[in-house]
Amino acid sequence: MEVDEDAELMLRVAAGDKSAFAALFDRYQASICRFAYRFVGDQARAEELAQEIFVKLYRSAKSYRPSAKLKTFLFRVASNHCLNEVRRGEYRMPHVEPHTEEQEGADGQAQHASGPDQALEGKELERAVGEALSKMSERERAAFTMCRFEGMAYRDIAFALSASEAAVKSLIHRATLAVARRIEELQAGLCPARSQA
Amino acid sequence: MSCEIEQDLTAFLDGELPELRAKQVEAHLPGCPSCAGTLSLIRRTVLQLAALPELSPSLALRRKVMARLDEPSGLTERLRALFRPAVLMPALGMAAAASVAVVLSVGPESRLDPEQMYVAMNMEMLEDFEVVGLEPEDVEVVTHLHELEALP
């Protein structure tokens, strides 16, 4: 059982066991980097945030109670940290520039070299999601990321954001619709260009 | 125009609605093209998100995090590090020299209470070390530093 294993590892971390912490780090580093990346839209900044979040997790090991799932506890630490850093003005979502024909040519060449059409779709999709995320509130972004990329339940997201489940439901709905509409707009804009080609 | 059910469509798709509400949404959908269209848009989007490229953290991240675990954290630990003998003894020596200089230059008419002088002098020293946000017990330590100095 992963949850029990996590709790056991965390109790060992609280007793000063660094190898237990390393095991937790290996298990959750991708999730936390992904969360931070969706938050700030830049991989290098996301790793800085992830560093801080894991150091905070290590230092708060003694306050962890196994009644809460470790992943939920970790995302509470991560959400608080990212929200605070963004509010302090330390990090901002970059302004996403409109796609130019030059970029499209360069992207097209890069993808052509690697082959499949699917890669092109992935990049366009990434851009649409990034643009939509950059325009929503921090709490919508956090709730959306935990729900869509980490598959967390609304109840756990509510715990992580210190919010009610009703508030989380509303945050996720608004954010999902914003992303859906941005993807739709992008697809509508791309379709004529593709049919001409 | 959107209807009141629209707010629940994402939660409906995520299986997060209470059973009764989910049944109400289900019953509503066939008669409401707007909600049916929105639900289909949300469903398509959720499926598309699964196709986003994965992000791989750099190999350096693990090393950086593990290296930071032993760094002092919080004010208490930073103060403890600050008051370790290697830092404290030279600082106390400087503080003692400064206090002699102050007493000699100000003279007996000084209205400053000796304790306040010590706090002021040592606060300055702490500011040099960029320690901010002192807690009451830390101020207490600073206030009685002169007693430490008097110890053999």
Query: Based on the structure, what is the number of domains in chain A?
Result: 2
Q: What is the pLDDT along chain A (197 residues), one digit of tens a residue?
A: 455 789 999 999 999 999 999 999 999 999 999 999 998 888 899 999 999 999 999 999 988 888 888 999 999 999 999 999 888 776 666 645 444 444 444 444 333 333 334 433 678 888 899 999 999 999 999 999 999 999 999 999 999 999 999 999 999 999 999 999 999 888 877 655 444 43
Is A93 domain-assigned? no
- What ipTM describes this predicted complex? 0.79
pLDDT tens string B20-79: 999 999 999 999 999 999 999 999 999 999 888 888 899 899 999 999 988 776 655 556
Predicted local confidence at residue A174, as pLDDT: 97
More reliable by pLDDT, B120 or A30: A30
Q: Is A144 on the interface with B (CB under 8 A)?
A: no
If one counts every other C-beta atom within 10 angstroms of the C-beta of residue B82, the result is 18
Distance from CA of B4 to the nearest CA of A (A): 13
CATH number of residue A68's parent domain = 1.10.1740.10
User: Among candidates B2, B5, B9, which has minimal Cα distance to B44?
Assistant: B9
Distance from CA of B63 to the nearest CA of A (A): 10
Interface test with A, best of B8, B12, B16, B41 (most A CBs within 10 A): B16
Q: Where are the domains of chain B?
A: 4-49, 71-150
Sign of CA pseudo-dihedral A40, A41, A45, A48: positive
Ramachandran sector of residue B55 (left: φ over 0; alpha: ψ -120 to 50; beta: rest): beta
What mean pLDDT value characterizes chain B? 75
Same domain assignment for residues A80 and A122: no
Confidence of residue B148 (pLDDT cuts 50, 70, 90): low
Which structural domain range is residue A146 located in? 116-196
Distance CA A100, CA B117 (A): 66
Residue A173: list chain B partners with CB under 8 A: 7-11
- Inter-axis angle of helices A70-87 and A154-161, to 10 degrees? 50
CATH number of residue A190's parent domain = 1.10.10.10
